[in-house]
Amino acid sequence: MKTFILIFVLLISASSFADCASALTNQYTQDSAAFQLSEDEVDDEIPRDTVEFAKQAIYSLQQNLGCQVDKLREQFANASCQEVVPGISLSKVCYVEGRSGYFLVSVDMLENINIVFNRFD
């Protein structure tokens, strides 16, 4: 019985992951996709130029796309933020690696969060 329950849970989590990957790639018709969120969709107490902010933005995006975020909460491996142009804080971009691809997260001057998802091969 325990084996059956374990297999059932694994199938459900794999299904929710696949559903999210499908939503991020427009039903697998695109390898990359760009999304935009309002800064209001992320906790305003988290500093904008941090990995934690980027992860929270991705969680909000996944939630908006109908992903089961609670099951995917631990999906990120590598993550870092860096200025594209050294010394220009507005050029900061965060790289966050997930199971099926990676996200590039930046914030513009109009209080928008720009997220680009690129699927792994």
Between 51-55, 61-65, 66-70, 104-108, the lowest mean confidence (pLDDT) is in 66-70
Domain encompassing residue 115: 2-119
CB atoms within 10 A of CB 40: 9
Q: What is the pTM of this model?
A: 0.79
Contacts by 80-86, CB closer than 8 A, 24 or more apart: 80/51, 81/49, 81/50, 81/51, 81/54
- pLDDT over 80 at 68, yes or no: no
Question: So what's the pLDDT on residue 72?
Answer: 53
When pLDDT is cut at 50, 70 and 90, the band that residue 67 belongs to is confident
Catalogue the E-assigned strands of 1-119.
32-38, 79-83, 92-97, 101-107, 112-119
Q: pLDDT class for 70, splitting at 50, 70, 90?
A: low
| Count of structural domains, the chain | 1
Within 10 A of 73 (CB to CB), how many other CB atoms are there?
A: 11
